Copies of this chain bind each other. A is one copy, B any other.
């Protein structure tokens, strides 16, 4: 019973005001005029955010290190450092129109838990590490969850390093810039098998708020298929070119999207189908546009649905392309995954001990935990966010909910690290 007593002591030292203040401080890096954050992977803003985080860790006496994919680790040693550590954390990068909580909450809750455990004078058997995964959002470099992907499968390093952003900068180039910015952060080898991984995150959906629950014990993550569709027509003069001679890539793309909307129709509203990027060229008001490039993000908890409907994407695009050419490329594919056993059970016990209202729920969004689950016991803790709004500058959460999640996390970490 020593562990449980110790844990109770740690969670009591989680400081709501301090955790909230760190979110406000971190939101300065990449702050947008509308109160959100644009802090994309390996940009100057993200590097500034890392510098701030490293400063806090070192002030608390924790060692930091970074691996070859830019994953950053903050370590509190255990009594037996020959054992693999327990890992917690999330990501510091955001969407271009991101909010102040998505990702960074999992890191700051981890740091808060570490500080509380330390202040409580608890010695854990295993070390606990707070990790900052590189490029979870995938908005600058695609695919997302890149750092955790390479961590779980270091053989992917070389193909991931060659990926370019829209300006032609490769991941390898950007990582070299990151290393230059932190000459005093020791390097560590990429990839190992942790004892367990726990990720705290805002829900990014409306369910906890609607059902008045504080904690979501996450049961799994839906699968995704992502595509890029290129429609090629012909630039032409808007004033002179008759309709029957046009190859208007925009109108073709609109017909294609209408066809895809039909393919993805779902009265039960479980299918998540989104066209988020849609670039029309040359983009001049008096030129019939000859080129459109658009993204498809398709998610579902049932892999059979992903398989069947996803396989229809290309035929539907071809069917509606008219006189234009169309090229469809699948850019990523993840299967639905499940969190079960040690970590979710430990989270649930902690939640019950703290008397916090909770539910079991799946995650609509992808998270780095989906890569960790392949190599170690893994689970996630969700806390509510306002109106379920995320990937939006208006993203918001309550200080009390964020602190509750950090308390559950602290309990869970001590429990796991004591095994």
Contacts and interface: CB of A to CB of B under 8 A. Distances in A.
A163 to B, nearest CB: 14
Interface string A295-321: 101010000000000000000000000
Contacts of A258: 254, 258
Contact of A235 (B144, B269, B271, B392): B392
A254 B248 CA distance: 14
Contacts of A261: 251
A278 B277 contact: no
Given A204-B239, A243-B269, A392-B236, A95 B250 contact: no
B286 A95 contact: yes
Interface string A73-90: 000000000000000000
Q: Identify the interface centre among A283, A287, A290, A363: most chain B CB within 10 Å of its CB.
A: A287
B364 A240 contact: yes
A282 B393 CA distance: 11
A164 to B, nearest CB: 15
A128 B327 CA distance: 53
Nearest to A274: B238
Interface stretch (A14-22, A112-120, A134-142, A181-189): A134-142
A162 interface: no
Given A254-B254, A391-B235, A240 B365 contact: yes
Contact of A286 (B137, B203, B205, B243): B137
A279 B284 CA distance: 11
A159 B237 CA distance: 28
A392 B282 CA distance: 9
B297 A205 contact: no
Chain A contact residues: helix, strand, loop or mixed: loop
Nearest to A366: B239
Nearest to A266: B243
Nearest to A251: B261
Number of identical protomers: 2
Given A235-B391, A257-B254, A393-B235, A96 B240 contact: no
Contact of A275 (B144, B250, B392): B250
B283 A238 contact: no
Contacts of A269: 242-244
A237 B278 contact: no
Contact of A391 (B139, B226, B287): B287
A139 B235 CA distance: 14
B95 A391 contact: no
A302 to B, nearest CB: 15
Contact of A224 (B222, B239, B244): B239
B286 A240 contact: no
A11 interface: no
A229 to B, nearest CB: 12
B272 A276 contact: no
A234 B97 CA distance: 11
A222 B277 CA distance: 35
21 contacts: A95-B287, A97-B284, A139-B287, A142-B285, A144-B286, A203-B240, A236-B391, A236-B392, A237-B391, A238-B299, A239-B363, A240-B272, A242-B272, A243-B271, A245-B388, A274-B286, A276-B283, A277-B280, A278-B283, A279-B283, A284-B391
Q: Which 3 A-B pairs have the closest CB atoms?
A: A240-B364, A238-B274, A205-B240
Given A96-B287, A242-B272, A243-B271, 19 more contacts: A95-B287, A97-B282, A139-B284, A204-B239, A205-B237, A205-B240, A224-B239, A236-B389, A236-B390, A236-B391, A237-B391, A240-B272, A243-B266, A251-B261, A274-B286, A277-B280, A278-B289, A287-B392, A288-B391
